Amino acid sequence: MKFNIILFAVAISASTLTFAQETSPKKFSPPAGNAVIGDTYGAGVASTSESKAISVDKLGKKLKKDNKKVENVAIKGKVTDVCEKKGCWLTIQTEDDSQFFVKMKDYAFFVPTALKGKNVVLEGNAERKVISVDEQKHYAEDAKKPQSEIDAITKPKEEIRFVANGIKVVN
């Protein structure tokens, strides 16, 4: 009888350990890749979108005109930063050397860190949005910014947010 109880206890312990291992959080990293010209991520980018892509400056003007939201737009710009944890967001440089933030639609795809410094065409939706202090700090931590820079974030700010359906490296 004691042997059966000990055997039962061992079986329960082993199954609990297996379950804990299966449900433990997985470590992610950005996808591998060199982000060479022609590489696409997500749903890709239509060839017509590539030729009709507007500049970031034109997007800003369009957002002011169209009540802070523009759908189904193609933008061309230079990637200045990529999330180093998963490749789940990136920033695009604007003509006035500011940046805007890009997330992937439905968190459905990620991009390699090699995309940093490349010119891309993005297809998706853009809007002007107020970003909370907590969200700004979260993304600054993801970008591995110095703690002093994170601590300096004390006010919400309005910025362009872009949700990308697809991204293509153009040069």
Which pLDDT score is estimated for 29?
A: 78
> Per residue in 121-167, pLDDT tens?
999 999 988 889 999 999 888 888 899 999 999 999 888 889 999 99
Mean pLDDT of the chain: 82
126 against 8, higher pLDDT: 126
DSSP for the chain? Answer: -HHHHHHHHHHHHHHHHHHHHHHSPPP--PPP----TT-EEET---HHHHHHPBPHHHHHHHHHHTTTEEEEEEEEEEEEEE-TTTS-EEEEE-TTS-EEEEEEGGG-----GGGTT-EEEEEEEEEEEEE-HHHHHHHHHHTT--HHHHHT--S-EEEEEEEEEEEEE--
82 against 5, higher pLDDT: 82
As a whole number, mean pLDDT of residues 72-89 equals 91
Give 96-99 contacts, CB < 8 A, sequence gap 24+: 96/57
> Per residue in 40-54, pLDDT tens?
999 988 877 888 888
- Residue 2 pLDDT level (bands cut at 50, 70, 90): low
CA 137 to chain centre: 15
Which pLDDT score is estimated for 17?
A: 41
Superfamily of domain 39-129+158-169: Bacterial OB-fold (2.40.50.200)
pLDDT at residue 70 is higher than 60: yes
- Bridge partner list, 157: 131
The whole-angstrom separation of Cα 102 and Cα 97 is 16
- Residue 7 pLDDT level (bands cut at 50, 70, 90): very low
Share of the chain above pLDDT 70, in %: 81
Tokens of 122: 């993005």
The whole-angstrom separation of Cα 63 and Cα 133 is 23
pTM confidence score = 0.74
**If 0-12 CB within 10 Å is exposed, 13-18 middle and 19+ buried, where does residue 44 land?**
middle
β-pairing, 69-82 with 119-131? Answer: antiparallel
pLDDT at residue 8 is higher than 60: no
As a whole number, mean pLDDT of residues 13-24 equals 44
Which pLDDT score is estimated for 15?
A: 45
